[in-house]
Chain A
Amino acid sequence: MKNRLKVLRAERDWTQADLAEALSVSRQTVNAIEKGKFDPSLPLAFKLARLFELPIEQIFEDES
Chain B
Amino acid sequence: MTQEKSLSNACREPLDKDLLGWTTSWLVTFAIASFGPIAVWQQSWITAVAVGVNFVIGILMIFANKRALGRLDELQRKIQLDATAICCMVGIVGGLSYSLLDITGLIGFDAQISHVVLLMGATYIVSLIIGRRHYA
A interface residues (Cβ-Cβ under 8 A, vs B): 17, 24-29, 31-32, 37-38, 40-41, 44
Stretch at the interface among B49-57, B69-77, B96-104: B69-77
Q: What band does the interface of chain B fall in when counting residues whose beta carbon is under 8 Å from A?
A: 10 to 19
In the complex, chain B residues whose CB is within 8 Å of the CB of A17: 10
A32, B75: Cβ atoms under 8 Å? yes
What 0/1 pattern do residues 2 to 15 of B give for CB contact below 8 A with A? Answer: 00000100110100
A26, B136: Cβ atoms under 8 Å? no
Closest-CB distance, A39 to chain B (whole angstroms): 10
Q: Which of B7, B73, B75 contacts A24 (CB 8 A)?
A: B73
In the complex, chain B residues whose CB is within 8 Å of the CB of A40: 74
B73, A27: Cβ atoms under 8 Å? no
Q: Which of A24, A25, A37, A41 contacts B135 (CB 8 A)?
A: A37
